[in-house]
């Protein structure tokens, strides 16, 4: 089909009929498909074309001509510039419908499941009760505005231009106070911000993590260098010890703050050294300046220690719901052996361990495994063992009998044929070798927790072709106002009721534990 020729900067009127992968609106002009940033499904907008391809193009919304019934007033005035909230102009209820549809469509198009199959297993998405200020972690770039003023905030979408904004509606409200203290310290002590293009300047990013249950706050400054000048001045400001700074702040706010004294909650201040020219935010070396090297938080009654480098789910309220579902899907009775692949600091492993006989966790980052071990000790959970390495290497090493002494020594039928395997991989999904080994291990159940439903669907296809049936699928909204969605799935082995265990030549009558 020949389309009318459009060009960059053409202004068109378009009605938005669908939503794209990143939350952008999709509509057609004379049959030509346009992806329109910031337009909401149901809107008719005036849009400026930004890029033309043969069969489709990209455009930016200029003006809403007729608003969608799903359009709402966004809370943040920077939402169009900032790369964080693609869906803020859409009602939260409609966002949830969009996410549910996204999972369904990926299962259909990429996973190859039929509509009937999907309808039989998919449950309604678990939304958030309060979709604001839900994030417990934020990383703010530090730099200069066009006039050369020191600023911190967020990168404008797909660029490295910093928008000055210390008051993000997704982050913890107290981040603002912390960022102000840091900027004040930097100005007072002539500390420079990093200039990415030149690779000069010192402070690159500020990482702030908050334990929502414990109230503890961790601050880590990422440096293009080893040391901050006058480090003690920073500590005094961040911990509220410097009277002058507090007086000034309280005077500026016209009132004395009560228990909102954020600075008393700061329990950990560190620097991360990152002198590389890279987009990776954190440097590997962390030096503690003051307080504890980790903060604590509690999920489902289990206490976790979190260090600056370890992965920890960013939305603790929804994470409890997500892990609750994962536990439910695992169907544990206390007799089972479980592998938890991509285990991070052992959150899911410890959840499972309370209901299983034995859990084995695998994670690529050594520091996270150190945290996981400490978390197990602190919570007095001793039926869990953790291994550092790639899931696609550690799992086959145990299954095949191990190439190194460690694996061979620990070789155990229990490990080779677990009852349940849980996976929670990063966006790229599971490695093929990992999936193959999972199939060879023949667990009765697989619980797949995913943050990208496209790779999830791809992997489910492999697992279902390898003898598993998809029984349950449920999306959980962990990231309100962004296009991302988390999903948890249960797969059950088709011959799970009569599993043949080679080494004992024994048939069992349920897919529970064979050793109990
Ligand atoms: N289950 C954890 C972490 C999930 S995030 C939780 O809920 O908190 C995914 C984790 O996989 C990260 O900790 C990441 O470091 C780890 N990872 C990434 N690639 C990996 C691989 N090939 N093998 C094992 N772990 C990996």
To 5 degrees, how large is the angle CA 216–CA 302–CA 171?
Answer: 40
Q: Which part of the chain is CATH 2.40.50.140? A: 11-66
pLDDT in tens, 187-220: 999 999 999 999 999 999 999 999 999 999 999 9
Q: Which part of the chain is CATH 2.40.50.1070?
A: 137-306
* Smallest CA separation from ligand 1 atom 1, residue: 343
- Judged by average pLDDT, the poorest of 223-227, 258-262, 369-373, 433-437 is 258-262
Query: What is the atom index within ligand 1 of the atom nearest the CA of 323?
Result: 7
Q: Is the distance from CB of 450 to CB of 486 less than 8 angstroms?
A: yes
Q: pLDDT tens, 25-63?
A: 999 999 999 999 999 999 999 999 999 998 999 999 999
Mean pLDDT of 347-369: 95
Give pLDDT tens digits for 490-507: 999 997 544 443 333 333
What pLDDT, on a 0 to 100 scale, did the predictor assign at position 515?
25
259 pLDDT above the threshold of 50: no
Q: Are 52 and 3 in contact (CB under 8 A)?
A: no
For domain 137-306, the CATH architecture is Beta Barrel (2.40)
pLDDT of residue 443: 97
Distance 298 CA to ligand 1 centre (A): 20
Mutation choice for ligand 1 from 348, 384, 426, 437, CB with most ligand atoms inside 8 A? 426
The confidence band for 261, taking pLDDT boundaries of 50, 70 and 90, is: confident
The 3-state DSSP class for residue 472 equals: strand
Mutation pick for ligand 1 pocket among 307, 311, 437 (CB with most ligand atoms within 8 Å): 311
Active site residue 451: yes
Superfamily of domain 316-510: Vaccinia Virus protein VP39 (3.40.50.150)
Q: Looking at residue 125, what is its pLDDT? A: 98
The active-site residue, picked from 451, 489, 511, 513, is 451
Tokens of 74: 């966004």
Q: Where in the chain is the domain with CATH 3.40.50.150?
A: 316-510
Six-digit token string for 23: 């939350």
Ligand 1 centroid – CA 365 distance (Å):
8
What is the chain's mean pLDDT, rounded?
90
Which amino acids bring their CB within 6 angstroms of ligand 1?
311, 313, 342-344, 347-348, 362-365, 368, 390-392, 424-426
Q: Of all residues in the chain, what percent carry a pLDDT higher than 70?
A: 91
CA of 346 to the centre of ligand 1 (A): 10
- Could you tell me if 121 and 491 are in contact, meaning their C-beta atoms sit under 8 angstroms apart? no
Structurally, what CATH architecture does the domain formed by 11-66 represent?
Beta Barrel (2.40)
Instruction: Give the Å distance between the CA of 357 and the centre of ligand 1.
Output: 23
> Does the pLDDT value for residue 509 go beyond 50?
no
The single-letter DSSP state of residue 301 is: T
Q: Ligand 1: which of 305, 425, 430, 437 to mutate, most ligand atoms within 8 Å of CB?
A: 425
Q: Which atom of ligand 1 is nearest to the CA of 368?
A: 13
DSSP single-letter state for residue 89? T
**Residue (of 310, 309, 305) closest to 379 by Cα position:** 305
pTM summary value: 0.89
pLDDT at 257: 47
pLDDT confidence of residue 405: 43
- Average pLDDT value for residue range 130-137: 96
Task: Tell me, in angstroms, the distance from the centre of ligand 1 to residue 362's CA.
Answer: 8
**How far away, in angstroms, is 275 Cα from ligand 1 center?**
25
Atom number in ligand 1 closest to CA 312: 8
pLDDT (tens digit, 9 = 90+) per residue, 453-491? 999 999 999 999 999 999 999 999 999 999 999 999 999
Give me the DSSP letters along 196-230: TTTTB-SEEEEEEEE-TTT--EEEEEEESSS--TT
């Amino acid at each position: 089909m020949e389309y009318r020729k459009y060009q960059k900067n053409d202004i068109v009127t378009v009605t938005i009929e669908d939503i794209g992968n990143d939350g952008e609106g999709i509509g057609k002009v004379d049959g030509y498909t346009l992806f329109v940033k910031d337009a909401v499904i149901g809107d008719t907008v005036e849009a400026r074309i930004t890029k033309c391809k043969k069969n489709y193009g990209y455009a930016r919304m200029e003006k809403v001509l007729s608003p969608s019934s799903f359009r709402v007033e966004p809370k943040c005035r920077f939402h169009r510039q900032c790369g964080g909230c693609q869906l803020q102009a859409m009602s939260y209820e409609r966002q949830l419908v969009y996410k549910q549809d996204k999972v369904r469509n990926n299962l259909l198009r990429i996973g190859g499941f039929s509509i009937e199959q999907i309808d039989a297993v998919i449950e309604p998405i678990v939304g958030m009760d309060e979709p604001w200020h839900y994030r417990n972690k934020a990383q703010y770039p530090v730099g200069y505005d066009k006039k050369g003023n020191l600023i911190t905030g967020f990168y404008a979408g797909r660029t490295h231009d910093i928008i000055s904004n210390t008051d993000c509606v997704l982050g913890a409200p107290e981040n603002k106070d912390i960022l102000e203290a840091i900027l004040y310290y930097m100005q007072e002590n002539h500390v420079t911000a990093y200039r990415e293009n030149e690779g000069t300047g010192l402070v690159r990013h500020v990482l702030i993590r908050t334990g929502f249950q414990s109230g503890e706050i961790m601050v880590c400054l990422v440096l293009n260098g080893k040391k901050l000048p006058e480090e003690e001045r920073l500590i005094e400001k961040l911990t509220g010890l410097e009277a002058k700074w507090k007086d000034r702040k309280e005077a500026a706010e016209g009132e004395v703050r009560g228990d909102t004294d954020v600075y008393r909650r700061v329990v950990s201040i560190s620097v991360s050294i990152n002198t590389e020219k890279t987009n990776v935010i954190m440097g590997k070396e962390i030096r503690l300046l003051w307080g504890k090297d980790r903060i604590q938080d509690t999920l489902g009654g289990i206490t976790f220690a979190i260090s600056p480098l370890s992965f920890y789910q960013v939305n603790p309220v929804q994470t409890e719901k997500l892990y609750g579902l994962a536990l439910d899907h695992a169907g544990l009775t206390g007799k089972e052996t479980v592998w938890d692949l991509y285990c991070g600091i052992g959150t899911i492993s410890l959840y499972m361990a309370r209901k299983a006989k034995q859990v084995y966790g695998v994670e690529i980052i050594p520091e996270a495994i150190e945290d996981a071990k400490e978390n197990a000790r602190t919570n007095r959970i001793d039926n869990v063992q953790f291994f550092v390495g790639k899931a696609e290497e550690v799992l086959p090493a145990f299954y095949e009998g191990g190439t190194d002494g460690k694996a061979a020594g620990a070789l155990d039928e229990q490990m080779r044929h677990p009852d349940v395997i849980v996976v929670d991989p990063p966006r790229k999904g599971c490695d093929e070798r990992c999936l193959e080994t999972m199939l060879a291990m023949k667990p009765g159940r697989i619980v797949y927790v995913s943050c990208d439903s496209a790779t999830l669907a791809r992997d489910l296809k492999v697992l279902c072709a390898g003898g598993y049936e998809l029984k349950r699928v449920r999306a959980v909204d962990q990231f309100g106002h962004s296009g991302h969605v988390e999903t948890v799935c249960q797969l059950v082995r088709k011959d799970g009721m009569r599993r043949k265990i080679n080494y004992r030549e024994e048939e069992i009558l349920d897919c529970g534990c064979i050793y109990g």
